[in-house]
A and B are shown apart, each in its own frame.
Chain A
Amino acid sequence: MAAISRDDVAHLARLARIDIPESELDHYASQLDAILEAVDKVSGLDTSGVEPMSHPVKMENVFREDIPAPSLNAQQALAGAPAVEDSRFRVPRILDEE
């Protein structure tokens, strides 16, 4: 049973900006299938009446006051940047997705 198709893999790869060659799509599809099948075992349990959990600890309304805190300086901020120009992060040409 192939729940994940070649097209799904190609789509996921595109979303994740990973370059997967055509020839390897089937390979990953079957691997992802195996993972899904393993996780799918949970579906066998009766979870009616169980709220999906996003936060393991029950807490609400945790706020920070609107008081400025020190920021990094530009040198610190840019220290890990592969390329810098004019105190800004220099990034490769952005494909037109606007």
Chain B
Amino acid sequence: MAEPVIAFDQALKEFDPVLGLEVHVELGTRTKMFCGCSTEFGGEPNTHVCPVCLGLPGSLPALNRIGVESAIRIGLALNCEIATWCRFARKNYFYPDMPKNFQTSQYDEPICFNGYLDVDVDTDEGRKTFRVEIERAHMEEDTGKNTHMGGATGRIHGADYSLVDYNRAGIPLIEIVTKPITGTGKYAPEVAKAYVAALRDILRGLGVSDVKMEQGSLRCDVNLSLRPSPEHELGTRSETKNVNSLRSVERSVRYEVTRQAARLLAGQRVVQETRHWHEDTGVTTSGRSKEQAEDYRYFPEPDLIPIAPSREWVEELRSTLPENPAVRRARLTKTWNISELEMENLINAGVLELVESAVNAGMSPDAARKWYTGELARVANERGVEVEELGVTHVELARIEALIATGALNDKLARQVLEGVIAREGDVDSIIASRGLAVVSDDGPLLEAIVAALAADPEVAEKIASGKVQAAGSVVGAVMKATRGQADAARVRELLFAHLGVSE
């Protein structure tokens, strides 16, 4: 049931929003955090499991070195301090997707703490940098996957029973928690989105995760509270789960501001609770109430040895950090001589890396951008996949581009060649040969088609002869049609005017 809301601008006149963001990222290690089971996505149910990740009695965890290194590298990229000594802890609760009846996590000794991430947001006064302070980034493990059976909706409500697959149980997670983010005012939704986007870029740049929000390898919980003014103490917050796209992060913050403001203005209080975000309707609904403090009875995990990262190790890992994405972006914007908006488009299309490697391989920035944000983005969007997943290499694009430059392909034919490349029909030249896609610039067949087009529409010849050269368009169009798009349009015009004895 939808709750009352008030207008966002109105809410901001009355209240000061305070954000908090918790991001879980699934690491891209080959094996799980505490056992050698594969982390590969999409295996048959319960085939990537062993006594450790099934929580069988007597099994003992063994910590994945790359999991720890990834955690430290993430911390360093987020300007965190790295603990000199820390332990894992057991977070005790019962849920069928967690076979040990506790989650191995970190409690008061996170491996990374006290960091920050600067994010840029467009404001009325131009682009402004907001500093998001990071409280901690700690290591933990993912849970299994429940499928709720029976009932009407396949949801947990009204389900008759559930089926559990533990392939995901024990996959390394890093939870990154911000401090309360204040001072954003009306830009709270944009700051939240910009933070998650910037974090995603950093994680991708580090190569520690595939950071696919839609597949759940990056998940975001959004905490929000309101207070009458920045001088007041923090208000009661709600925690919205299931916010799994950048757009949803922004929308859910906006929605919660308007919902909480409506409650407070009506003299009601905000309930401290978990809420669920609904992508389709753009609202949050009430979940579990957190009025009663949870009692997880954390205690140090006795089966895992404490971690004491030496400063040498930390510095060695620091030296593996890639260029900060924001710095890199500014550099490429300048080198490629493009606008900030054009750079934004590349990032939003998820093709910055692809364009960069194409440019590094010798393609011009303009050509690379044209392909990746144009035709390839369109096809990817149509199929609901990432551009990257189309599997078109810059070598193939460079070949197509070269053939356009020599006139052997026109844009229309190039698109058809690309279609063949995406369908893995072979290399560019063999696709052109097998699909018969080369531009017809042989004058013979073109002239034949011109004569036929003029015969079909005798008036047009007179128009052109009398100086209305724009009428040539219809002839060129007819010739293109007759040659199934394979004619060299410029050559057709030349031949047409020569044939009619007029000069352009």
Residue positions of A touching B, CB distance < 8 A: 11, 15, 17, 54-55, 59-74, 77-78, 80, 85-94, 96-98
Contact = CB atoms under 8 A, between A and B. Distances in A.
Interface of B: 29-31, 35-38, 44-51, 54, 56, 62-68, 85, 87, 92, 94-96, 146-149, 156-157, 159-166, 274, 287-288, 295, 297, 299-300, 302, 305-309
A71 B302 contact: no
B38 A68 contact: yes
A74 B46 contact: yes
Contacts of A96: 156-157, 288
A51 to B, nearest CB: 11
B50 A60 contact: no
A66 B300 CA distance: 24
Contacts of A69: 31, 35-37, 50
A64 B162 CA distance: 34
A91 B161 contact: yes
A77 B46 contact: yes
Contacts of B68: 63
Nearest to A65: B65
B163 A88 contact: yes
A67 B48 contact: no
A36 to B, nearest CB: 16
A8 to B, nearest CB: 11
A15 B297 contact: yes
Contacts of A60: 85, 305-308
12 contacts: A11-B295, A60-B85, A60-B307, A62-B305, A71-B38, A77-B47, A77-B49, A88-B164, A92-B162, A93-B160, A93-B161, A98-B287
B44 A94 contact: no
A33 B338 CA distance: 73
Nearest to B63: A63
Given A59-B306, A87-B45, 4 more contacts: A60-B308, A63-B63, A71-B49, A96-B157
A62 B189 CA distance: 43
A54 B302 contact: yes
B407 to A, nearest CB: 52
Contacts of A15: 92, 295, 297
Contacts of A67: 30-31, 36
A74 B274 CA distance: 35
Chain B at the A interface: mostly helix, strand, loop or mixed?
Answer: loop
B34 to A, nearest CB: 8
A17 to B, nearest CB: 6
Contacts of A71: 36-38, 47-50
A66 B305 contact: no
B50 A94 contact: no
Please name the 4 residue pairs, one residue from A and one from B, whose CB atoms are nearest each other, closest first: A69-B36, A88-B163, A54-B300, A63-B65
Contact of B36 (A68, A80, A92): A68
Contacts of A98: 156, 274, 287-288
B305 A55 contact: yes
A64 B45 contact: no
A74 B44 CA distance: 8
A72 B50 contact: yes
Contact of A87 (B29, B44, B287, B297): B44
B96 A88 contact: no
Contacts of A70: 36
Nearest to B151: A93
Given A71-B50, A88-B45, A64 B64 contact: yes
A88 B50 contact: no
A70 B49 CA distance: 9
B491 to A, nearest CB: 59
Contact of B47 (A55, A68, A74, A85): A74
B47 A73 contact: yes
Given A71-B50, A72-B50, A93 B29 contact: no
Contacts of B54: 72, 77
A72 B49 contact: yes
